[in-house]
DNA sequence: ATGAAAGCGCTAACAC
DNA sequence: GTGTTAGCGCTTTCAT
């Protein structure tokens, strides 16, 4: 049982009876090479099954065709859908993806960023809810290509893609108002996250524009996660003057509200309307199906990836911020106030 | 605006007033180094924010702490849940993950495997439904650590983790039989995939053991995907002697059946019982909630990652095949035949 | 115990 | 056009 030694560029050179660097040139589509030699090299590569060694290539100053993705975690469909979009684009461009999850440990996170930027990666996609200003500066200074996803928090002008959180929340609130609801409960997201604040803003703005009062009692703090949302739902539904509708800052929270409503023997939408945000796959499947604001998550990933690739191609293009439109999806969880 | 040059081991050496290799030794916890020097080096590393360059390290024969994952695609929760488990374990072990999606292009796939094995990766996780015998041989020959996930197709003894597909399908079928169903429709998965065949086997075995006839008319070919499942569902539900229950080889297919049933004005479970396989998140949320066979997907990922890590530690340990237990989750989509 | 030096596989000047 | 050669940042002998 022979241990197959990895084929190097040297093996190819020998087999094709050309020099070392000629092979390199062929592999990298450089210069003009005598067609006959190029053919020999190509044949040898094919026959030997040569695959270039990325590390060596990158180390020597070449391109590794690798893009890094640092993501907080993979827990919800939210991240995963974005990941899908990224993956598609990156693969289509024949780049490879290094995936790093930080699990919220800031230390880990910056090590990851460093590893990636000083390592294989030629570009960076950052899907982190907050607090990345530390390395953004560094990246900008080093002119290292990167794109932020769903994060507008950096003051300067960092390339970023996100969704129209504010207007999405505005539309959802407006929808409820149009249905005749007056007391509309709101469960916030994690307010350190920009998107969460924007959604709150949208909610407030819709009320104000409609001439309704923003009742602080109806705004309950959440964090985008289920446990906190369950508490928030209880708090809202046990109010003496119970709201006739609830707008949760994401679907995961809205699903929690749905559960609590069921516990309280409240029928949705008859006794209470409910709106979520995100349109995760579950939203369409629960009963009643959730009215929600769709974020084009996969597209966000796709657009971010494409933006990164073009920044990598032309390092000097001015940073762009893209906001993809959200869309109100009306389903069965909302109806006119009776 | 100074362009920050990446900090190399040489910078650290200068700052700590020691040699090049001493720093390397400290970084790799080697030998005995005079504590005082070690401290100086550590301090310099900290102060300069030095992060080792993985490529260089790997190239020079060191460890890169990278594990590669080749996955067919990320379309369903199936892959994603496994990915989560993998990610958790890999991150906990302080390894990094390179993610490759092959999107079914076999050529891409083998290039990916080659890139990974000749590159950074020290181990490989393969989540591919089929046809990987080509490189399995190669990997085995080279003694390259790898673990297959949900794939038993390789004749030799390849390290693999999967779930008890057969007994899961057996249990589900048994459940339906116990409820008094006699004509039980079955929608297969992609039969090139081992798991699909095992599920079919389990279905057949349960019928046989129960003394029922396996009616070929009731077995319809699917491929784990929605479009084909919709057709299959129609075919089954339009049978002159309509089955009183349907068992689909995965939840995605079962969900499709649910839709078709609704179209046909069949109530589930009253007019027809329905069972799926996988227990993807949507299964619990549809109405009625889906009775299904839970695959411990996240655990499968976790176990596979752990197995890989231990193979990487002791290359000579005999390959292990782990089968994780599936579990029948009875929900609202099944009831006794009326 | 620690410094010097030889590569790892490759790219990119630099020669010819 | 194509071969030669100097590194890229690091690990690992081999001296000392």
pLDDT in tens, A166-205: 999 999 999 999 999 999 999 999 998 889 999 999 999 9
Q: Are residues A140 and A212 in the same domain?
A: no
How far CA B74 is from CA of A215, B56, B109, B166, B193, in Å, comes to: 43, 31, 15, 25, 17
Does B332 fall in a domain? Answer: no
CB contact under 8 A, A55 and B51: no
Q: Does at least one atom of strand D sit less than 7 Å from the CB of B56?
A: yes
Residue whose entry in the numeric block shows the structure tokens 């976790």: B302
For B240, residues 6+ apart whose C-beta sits below 8 A from its C-beta are none
Does A177 fall in a domain? Answer: yes
Distance between A262 CA and the closest CA of chain B, angstroms: 14
Does A3 fall in a domain? Answer: no
How far CA B152 is from CA of B136, B189, B327, in Å, comes to: 12, 16, 20
Strand partners, B329: B292
Q: Are residues B170 and B279 in the same domain?
A: yes
pLDDT in tens, B209-246: 999 999 999 999 999 999 999 999 999 999 999 999 99
Least confident of A128-137, B48-57, B272-281: A128-137
Distance between B183 CA and the closest CA of chain A, angstroms: 28
pLDDT value at position B61? 87
Protein footprint of strand C, defined by Cβ closer than 7 Å to any strand atom: A 6, 8-10, 20-21, 24, 27-28, 30, 50, 52-53, 56-57, 59-62; B 18-22, 25, 31-34, 37, 56, 59-61
**CATH number (domain holding residue B51):** 1.10.260.40
In angstroms, the CA B94 to CA B312 distance is 14
Q: Are residues B172 and B236 in the same domain?
A: yes
Does A228 fall in a domain? Answer: yes
Q: Are residues A212 and A104 in the same domain?
A: no
pLDDT value at position B133? 66
pLDDT value at position B1? 41
In angstroms, the CA A185 to CA A272 distance is 10
The alpha-carbon radius of gyration of chain B (Å, integer) is: 26
Considering only CB atoms, A4 lies closest to which of B80, B138, B281, namely: B138
Does A331 fall in a domain? Answer: no
Write out B93-152 in H/E/C secondary structure. Answer: CCCEEEEEECCCCHHHHHHHHHHHHCCCCCEEEEECCCCCHHHHHHHHHHCCCEEEECCC
Residues B140-168, mean pLDDT to the nearest whole number: 87
Query: A112, B124 in Cβ contact below 8 A?
Result: no
CB contact under 8 A, B142 and A3: yes
Q: How confident is the model at residue B158 (pLDDT cuts 50, 70, 90)?
A: confident
Q: Chain B partners of A49 at a C-beta cutoff of 8 Å?
A: 114
Q: Does at least one atom of strand D sit less than 7 Å from the CB of B216?
A: no
Give me the DSSP letters along B168-210: HHHHHHHHHHHTT--SEEEE---TTSHHHHHHHHHHHHHHHHT
Residue whose entry in the numeric block shows the structure tokens 């087999």: A15
The answer on pLDDT for A69 being more than 90 is yes
Structure tokens at B262: 């609704």
pLDDT value at position A122? 93
CB contact under 8 A, B49 and A114: yes
Q: Are residues A301 and A156 in the same domain?
A: yes
pLDDT value at position B141? 80
CB contact under 8 A, B55 and A51: no
Does A329 fall in a domain? Answer: no
Q: Are residues B100 and B32 in the same domain?
A: no
Q: Are residues B130 and B224 in the same domain?
A: no
CB contact under 8 A, B54 and A2: no
The answer on pLDDT for B187 being more than 50 is yes
How far CA A214 is from CA of A197, A247, A257, A276, in Å, comes to: 15, 14, 21, 19
Residue whose entry in the numeric block shows the structure tokens 């782990």: B322
Instruction: Give the residue among B114, B97, B141, B105 at the shortest CA–CA distance from A53.
Output: B114
Does B4 fall in a domain? Answer: no
Q: Of B61, B89, B104, which residue sits at a domain end?
A: B61
Residues B124-129, mean pLDDT to the nearest whole number: 91
Residues A332-336, mean pLDDT to the nearest whole number: 97
Instruction: Give the residue among B301, B187, B197 at the shortest CA–CA distance from B245.
Output: B187
Measured CA to C1', the nucleotide nearest A12 is C9
Write out A133-147 in H/E/C secondary structure. Answer: HHHHHHHHHHCCCEE
Distance between A90 CA and the closest CA of chain B, angstroms: 10
Strand order across the A160-163 sheet:
A321-324, A160-163, A146-149, A123-127, A66-71, A96-101, B96-101, B66-71, B123-127, B146-149, B160-163, B321-324
Q: Quote the strand ranges of A92-234, DSSP E.
A: 96-101, 123-127, 146-149, 160-163, 184-187, 219-220
Q: Which of chain C's bases lie under 7 Å from a protein CB? A: 1-13
pLDDT in tens, A227-239: 999 999 999 999 9
CB contact under 8 A, A87 and B97: no
Q: Are residues A307 and A223 in the same domain?
A: no
pLDDT value at position A133? 66
**Residue of chain B whose alpha carbon sits nearest to that of A85:** B74
Distance A27 CA to C13 C1' (A): 18
Interface test with B, best of A120, A255, A290, A315 (most B CBs within 10 A): A120
Structure tokens at A295: 């974020």
pLDDT value at position B266? 95
Q: How confident is the model at residue A131 (pLDDT cuts 50, 70, 90)?
A: low
Distance B20 CA to C3 C1' (A): 8
The alpha-carbon radius of gyration of chain A (Å, integer) is: 26
Distance between B51 CA and the closest CA of chain A, angstroms: 6
Strand partners, B185: B246
Distance B5 CA to C13 C1' (A): 21
pLDDT value at position A90? 94
In angstroms, the CA B266 to CA B258 distance is 9
CB contact under 8 A, B120 and A83: no
Strand partners, A127: A71
How far CA A135 is from CA of A72, A124, A145, B148, in Å, comes to: 15, 12, 12, 37
pLDDT in tens, A246-297: 999 999 999 999 999 999 999 999 999 999 999 988 899 888 999 999 999 9
pLDDT value at position B86? 97
Q: How confident is the model at residue A1 (pLDDT cuts 50, 70, 90)?
A: very low
How far CA A330 is from CA of A262, A279, A284, in Å, comes to: 21, 11, 10
Q: Which of chain D's bases lie under 7 Å from a protein CB? A: 1-13
Greater model confidence, B183 or B115:
B183
For B52, residues 6+ apart whose C-beta sits below 8 A from its C-beta are B9, B27
Q: Does at least one atom of strand D sit less than 7 Å from the CB of A114?
A: no
Does B330 fall in a domain? Answer: no
Considering only CB atoms, A103 lies closest to which of B91, B115, B286, namely: B91
Q: How many domains does one find in chain B?
A: 3
Letter string b/e over residues B285-297, b meaning 16 or more CB atoms within 10 A of that residue's CB: bbebbbbbbbbbb
Structure tokens at A146: 């990167």
CB contact under 8 A, A119 and B54: yes
Q: Between A and B, how many residue pairs show a Cβ–Cβ distance under 8 A?
A: 120
SS3 A185: strand
In angstroms, the CA A24 to CA B260 distance is 57
In angstroms, the CA A156 to CA A153 distance is 9
Instruction: Give the residue among A116, A53, A49 at the shortest CA–CA distance from B58.
Output: A53
In angstroms, the CA B205 to CA A247 distance is 50
pLDDT value at position A4? 66
Greater model confidence, B263 or A107:
B263
Query: What percent of chain B shows pLDDT beyond 90?
Result: 68
Q: Are residues A211 and A292 in the same domain?
A: yes
Q: Are residues A170 and A274 in the same domain?
A: yes
Residues B286-306, mean pLDDT to the nearest whole number: 96
pLDDT in tens, B15-41: 999 998 999 999 988 877 889 989 999
Q: Are residues B186 and B245 in the same domain?
A: yes
pLDDT value at position A32? 79
Peptide bond connecting B250 to the previous residue in cis, omega within 30 degrees of 0: no
Letter string b/e over residues A278-297, b meaning 16 or more CB atoms within 10 A of that residue's CB: bbbbbbbbbebbbbbbbbbb
Q: What is the mean pLDDT of chain B?
A: 91
Q: What is the mean pLDDT of chain A?
A: 91
Considering only CB atoms, B4 lies closest to which of A51, A138, A287, namely: A138
**CATH number (domain holding residue A178):** 3.40.50.2300
Q: Of A280, A296, A312, which residue sits at a domain end?
A: A296
Q: How confident is the model at residue A147 (pLDDT cuts 50, 70, 90)?
A: very high
For B42, residues 6+ apart whose C-beta sits below 8 A from its C-beta are B26
CB contact under 8 A, A6 and B100: no
Least confident of B99-108, B283-292, B293-302: B99-108
Query: A176, A244 in Cβ contact below 8 A?
Result: no
- The domain of B255 spans 165-296
Query: A82, A297 in Cβ contact below 8 A?
Result: yes
Instruction: Give the residue among B293, B202, B250 at the shortest CA–CA distance from B76.
Output: B250
Distance A21 CA to C12 C1' (A): 10
Return the axis-axis angle of helices A20-27 and A35-48, rounded to nearest 10°: 90
Compute how many other C-beta atoms are within 10 angstroms of the C-beta atom of residue A229: 26
SS3 A253: helix
Q: Are residues A120 and A133 in the same domain?
A: yes
pLDDT value at position A166? 97
């Amino acid at each position: 049982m022979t241990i197959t030694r990895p084929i190097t560029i040297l093996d190819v050179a020998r087999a094709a009876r050309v020099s070392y660097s000629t092979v390199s040139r062929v592999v990298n589509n450089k210069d003009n090479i005598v067609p006959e030699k190029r053919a020999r090299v190509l044949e040898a590569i094919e026959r030997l099954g040569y695959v270039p060694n990325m590390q060596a290539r990158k180390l020597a100053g070449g391109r590794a065709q690798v893009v890094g993705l640092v993501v907080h975690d993979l827990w919800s469909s939210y991240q995963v859908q974005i990941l899908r979009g990224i993956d598609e684009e990156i693969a289509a461009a024949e780049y490879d993806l290094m995936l790093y999850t930080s699990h919220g440990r800031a230390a880990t996170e910056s090590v990851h960023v460093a590893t990636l930027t000083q390592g294989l990666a030629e570009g960076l996609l950052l899907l982190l809810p907050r607090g990345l200003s530390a390395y953004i500066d560094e990246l900008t200074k080093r002119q290292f290509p990167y794109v932020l996803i769903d994060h507008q928090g950096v003051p300067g002008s960092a390339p970023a893609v996100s969704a129209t959180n504010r207007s999405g929340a505005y539309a959802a609130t407006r929808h409820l108002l149009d249905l005749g609801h007056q007391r509309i409960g709101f469960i916030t997201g994690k307010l350190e996250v920009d998107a969460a604040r924007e959604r709150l803003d949208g909610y407030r703005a819709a009320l104000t524009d409609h001439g309704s009062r923003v009742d602080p009692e109806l705004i309950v703090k959440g964090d985008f996660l289920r446990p906190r949302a369950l508490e928030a739902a209880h708090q809202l539904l046990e109010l003496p003057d119970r709201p006739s509708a609830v707008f949760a800052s994401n679907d995961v929270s809205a699903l929690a509200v749905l559960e609590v409503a069921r516990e309280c023997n409240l029928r949705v939408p008859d006794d209470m309307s409910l709106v979520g945000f995100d349109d995760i796959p579950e939203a369409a499947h629960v009963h009643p199906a959730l009215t929600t604001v769709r974020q084009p998550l996969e597209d966000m990933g796709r657009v971010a990836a494409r933006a990164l690739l073009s920044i990598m191609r032309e390092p000097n293009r001015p940073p762009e911020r893209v906001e993809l439109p959200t869309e109100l999806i009306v389903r069965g969880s909302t109806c006119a106030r009776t």
